[in-house]
Amino acid sequence: KLSQTQDQIQQHKDNSKKIAVAEKSIDRANAQKQVVTGLFASDKKLDTLLLDLNKLVNIRQGELQKFTPDLPVAGGGSSGAAIVTDSSLGAALNNKIKRKGVSIEVKGNFEQVQSILRTIERLDQLLIIKDFHADVDKSTQKIVMDAQGKLLPQPQATIKTSFKIQALIPLTPAEQAAATPPPPPVKK
């Protein structure tokens, strides 16, 4: 009986150590989850996206030509965001995040457009740039030579750039529960 009791005490100690290690692991996982969740956009941050983009385009001396949010999607709620269900971002994210899109058109020279795109990359919210198109304005693209055949400096050509920004927003637990389909019935 004494050895059985000692074995039980040792098992309790081992289990306590395993529980402590598991709790530390859970704490680390929760901390990582908070960091990752912080990278995603939020509805509050997206409310100021137009102002933020307009400000950064103006600072870089470009022109914001167009800013068109996507139309609200059925099942996406009042924010117009669509719940990701198509595995386009990986099957693990299905019914866990929603995406909200905005079509943007910017005009400027190469350095301005490049600087604008780099600044968009540095925004604190996770954004995906899709459907990127850049066209040179032919009327601003000129090559002029003097009488000796030397190239004369000309103003830089204007580039008209259009792209779509998709912001990824984590679903709230209530939205996630509503979006997750019920499990299939168990057959007996």
pLDDT digits (tens, 9 = 90+) for 23-56: 999 999 999 888 877 777 777 777 788 888 889 8
74 confidence band (pLDDT: 50, 70, 90)? low
Q: In this predicted structure, what is the pLDDT of residue 188?
A: 65
Is residue 97 over pLDDT 60? yes
**Pick from 1-15, 47-61, 173-187: least confident:** 173-187
* Rounded alpha-carbon distances, angstroms, from residue 27 to 19, 32, 41: 12, 9, 23
- pTM strictly above 0.85: no
Do residues 167 and 126 touch, judged by C-beta distance below 8 A? yes
Average pLDDT, stretch 96-103?
Answer: 88
The rounded mean pLDDT for the chain is 84
